[in-house]
Amino acid sequence: MILGIGNDLCDVRRIERTLERFGERFLQRVFTDVERKRAFAKGAPAATLAKRFAAKEACAKALGTGFRNGTFWRDMGVVNLPSGRPTLALTGGAREHLERLTPPGYEARIDLTLTDEEPLAAAVVVISASPKA
């Protein structure tokens, strides 16, 4: 069963300008350590960060919370499974909200797709639940 769907589009140039203006303060507020490390390991951090920014926005929409009611930017972190498939690891208020959304006896799954075509980055999040095995 689908619990929530969200999508977002982010302009990479906006992330570049925000990085120039706010630097580490912006990075610390929005991104997890894993996300920052991955972005700066590559040559163009703004594009990588823009995709993750869009993923967080899409996830907040799929959860139905936005960034309020105890849900913060760093409560949602883009991670890759051993297969390479991206997903979101939720902590704090985002995790608590997901647990409230998930019916008893079910297990939640977060599917994430990321894409970019300069100057835009996009993400789609589908949160679903299936019976526990």
* Residues in the annotated binding site: 8, 57
Q: What value does the mean pLDDT take over residues 21-25?
A: 96
Q: How many CA atoms lie within 13 A of 76 on its CB side?
A: 30
User: Which tens digit of pLDDT belongs to each residue from 104-113?
Assistant: 999 999 999 9
* Residues in the annotated binding site for Mg(2+): 8, 57
pTM for the complete prediction?
0.94
Q: How many domains does the chain have?
A: 1
Q: Are 94 and 73 in contact (CB under 8 A)?
A: no
Q: What value does the mean pLDDT take over residues 11-31?
A: 97
Among candidates 118, 121, 119, 91, which has minimal Cα distance to 110?
A: 91
Going from the C-alpha of 89 to that of each of 1, 19, 68, the distances in angstroms are: 20, 24, 18
Q: Which domain holds residue 47?
A: 2-131
Q: What is the CATH number of the domain that holds 32?
A: 3.90.470.20
Mean pLDDT computed over every residue of the chain:
95
Q: Please, which residues bridge with residue 129 across strands?
A: 108
Q: What value does the mean pLDDT take over residues 101-121?
A: 96
Q: How confident is the model at residue 89 (pLDDT cuts 50, 70, 90)?
A: very high
What pLDDT does residue 90 have?
98
User: Which tens digit of pLDDT belongs to each residue from 34-80?
Assistant: 999 999 997 789 999 999 999 999 999 999 988 888 899 999 999 99
Helix axes 92-101, 45-63, angle to 10 degrees: 40
